[in-house]
Structure 1
Amino acid sequence: MTYVLVLVVLTLVFPWGGAAVARRLATVLPPRWACWVVSAAAVLLAGGTVSALIGLFHVPFLASLEQLSLSRVREEWPAAVPAAAAAGTVMLVQLVLLVRRWLQHRSLLRRAWLSVDEGTGDGDLLVIPGSDVDAFALPGYRGRRGRVVVTAGMVQSLKAGEREVLLAHERAHLAGRHHLLSASVDLTAVVHPALRSLREALAFHLERWADEEAAAVTGSRRVAAAAIARAALAGASHGRVGGYPLLSATSGPVPQRVEALLLPAPAAPRGGARRAGVAALAGTVVAAALGALALAYGLHEYVEFAARRLIGADEGGSSLWSALDTLFGSGAA
């Protein structure tokens, strides 16, 4: 059983290394690529974790399919039922946390829309009265399309060119549907604690993606940098309205974003750099997927083989341990 336990541990521990690789790779990629790398890694690593737990949870069930009674399974492998119970408990907790987090997203989004009911505007722009200085992208909700929300205080704090940058930034969030990427990674963070770091990484790269789009629309990286800096200095609410964490031009590590805008626009990786980046990401997620598949397949084959050995050798005193020794070689236990 040592082999199975080692495989389970490796599958559950792997997201720590996978998340670190994804974060590192994202730092050397353009913002758009970085966002997709972080999001894909988070979803696939979370999927690998859930698959490992499902495989472990099904061991007693697989044994019953092979005509092994639960009492016999407990006799030959005492850890089978406790391990399955632990996996089931973890999955139940994950499910509760996922549902709870999803409901929080919906509730906070509803509150955000209620908080901007007094706003006025045309098209996708909504200006809300008040002296607060803020601007953010508000995702669509219940048939309402997404809006760029700007406070009157923010409008007064920026020059005309800077307002153009701000609006382009928030429109980039809406056009790219960045809230979906953000929500996906936020939900994976309740599946495995290692993925919480990807949530912060994604938030930064989403803002960088919108910064680059705004700079391209306005045609001046320097003006875009000045607008982001001025908006952040003037802002006081840090991208929050009605308690909802929003995609805002004033959020994230603003000094790093401004510094990046003062440099030449990042180019898509080419040649060797692209191949190396793709290989690193592919290796990370494929290893997680293969680990989960190997665990599920290994558990099934293990139970099936052990069942045949036990059913055919009851009189000879064979055990599940000897069956495993026969399958994998001596010293398994």
Structure 2
Amino acid sequence: MTLVLLLVTAALAFPWAAAAAARRLAAVLPPKEACAAITSAAVLAAGGTGAALFGLAHVPFLAGLEQLTLAQVATEWPAALPVAALAAVVMAIQLVLVIRRWFEHRSLLARAWVAAADAEVDGEVDGDLLVVPGECPDAYALPGRHRRPGRIVVTRAMLQALGDREREVLIAHERAHLTGRHHLLSVAVHLTAAVHPALRSLRPALDFHLERWADEAAARAVGNRRLAAAAIARAALAGASAARPARGPLLAVNSGPVPQRVEALLGPLPVRPEAPSARAAALGLVLSVLACAVAAVAIAYGLHEYVELAAEGIRGR
């Protein structure tokens, strides 16, 4: 039984290592690959955590399969029922938090679409671009909803703050968010953070690399990385004073640490590194996620074997 508890501890501790390895690996990868690494690590680590808790919570079910009463289980292993109950409570809390965050995301998206529909009356629509009136410079990508394609929402004040070529960068940046379906990655990592506290640190890291992904797409679209850097800096400066609510899945050009994004655009084109540090970070991430998954499977198998042994011992008396 000690081995099972050690496996549980490992399964719940490894997401901390996975999150650290994912952040380190993302820092040396191109933006697109960095986003894939962070999202994969978050989803797999959350899955391993949930599997470990499920393995603990279904001890009474295993006892029922072996035709043992809960009293007999408590006699053979006094900690079994309290641990199983605690795991079930934690899983219930996780489920409530995940559902709550999902509905918050859907509610925010619905309100954004209502606001965009209202703004169309006085706004201008050109394909996926919606220019709305407003004195506050603002721009964001509005994901599709109910079979409606996504849109790029930009205020007239933001367009007035930029030159013609800078507007091209802005629109290309937001369009990259839509075509890459970046909001799905953002929401996935946001939901996993409700499963394990270690995964909360991945949300800001993902947001930064999503913006970097869109930055590089905009730079390719206009064929000038310096122009893209200048446009992003100007758009961020123009929108710095705009008071806005939490965006959630609505990704904007002035999100994340803008100085680091501008500095990256002024540097060389990002490529996949071959340095030993990158390989070490990738290996650490893979090992952390695999360890979490293996520990979860071992928990389920170990508990099953333990209950079978306990049942045989009771029947042999």
* TM score, norm. by length of structure 2: 0.94
Stretch deviating more after TM superposition (105-114 or 300-309): 300-309
Structure 1 residues 14 and 134: alpha-carbon distance in aligned structure 2, compared to 1, 3 A threshold? same
| Equivalent residue number for residue 62 of structure 2 | 62
CA apart distance, 1:68: 1.7
Tell me, in whole angstroms, the C-alpha distance in 1 between the residues paired with 2:246 and 2:280: 43
How far off is 1:245 after superposition? 5.4
Name 2:218's counterpart in structure 1: 214
Out of 161, 170, 182, which is 1:166 matched to? 170
Aligned residues: 313
Q: Retained in 2: the 8 A contact 1:94–1:190?
A: yes
Check conservation: 1:204, 1:253, Cα contact below 8 A. yes
Q: Which residue of 1 aligns with 2:185?
A: 181
Separation of aligned partners in 1, 2:282 and 2:203: 21
Deviation digits for residues 62-91 of structure 1, max 9, x if unmatched?
122112211111111111111111111111
Partner secondary structure for residue 116 of structure 1: helix
Alignment of 1:253 with 2:257, yes or no, is yes
Distance 1:291 1:115, change over 3 A: same
Q: Match for residue 109 of structure 2? A: 109
State the AA in 2 paired with 1:293: V
SS of residue matched to 2:147: coil
TM-score, normalisation: structure 1: 0.90
SS in 1 for 2:165: helix
The whole-number CA distance in structure 1 between the counterparts of 2:211 and 2:175 is 12
Equivalence for 1:76: 76
- Give the match for residue 128 of structure 2: 124
How do 1:16-55 and structure 2 match up within 5 A? 16-55=16-55
Q: Percent identity?
A: 63
Shift in Å, 1:268: 2.3
| Counterpart mapping for 1:128-167 below 5 A | 128-167=132-171
CA distance in 2, matches of 1:162, 1:233: 13
Matches within 5 A, 1:272-283: 276=280, 278-283=282-287
Instruction: List runs of 5+ in structure 1 lacking aligned partners.
Output: 315-333
- Helix, strand or coil: the match of 2:131? strand
1:201 aligns with 2:216: no
* 1:85 alignment counterpart: 85
Q: Shift of the alpha carbon at 1:237? A: 6.4
Distance 1:47-1:284 versus aligned 2 partners, 3 A rule = same
Partners of 1:239 and 1:123 in 2: CA distance: 28
Shift of 1:100: 0.9
One-letter amino acid of the structure 1 residue matched with residue 47 of structure 2:
G
Q: 2:92 and 2:242 mapped to 1: Cα distance?
A: 35
Counterpart for residue 289 of structure 2: 285
Q: Distance in 2 between matches of 1:47 and 1:138?
A: 29
Q: Say which is worse superposed, 21-30 or 276-285, in terms of deviation.
A: 276-285
Give the aligned residue type for 1:165.
V
Which of structures 1 and 2 has the bigger CA Rg?
A: 1
Within 2, Cα distance between the matches of 1:11 and 1:185?
19
How far, CA to CA, are the matches of 2:183 and 2:144 in structure 1?
10
Q: Deviations over 1:204-262 (max 9, x none)?
A: 00000100111111111100000000000000466946865520001100000000000
Which is bigger in relative contact order (C-alpha 8 A, separation at least 6)?
Answer: 2
Task: Tell me how far apart the structure 1 counterparts of residues 287 and 299 of structure 2 sit (CA, whole Å).
Answer: 18
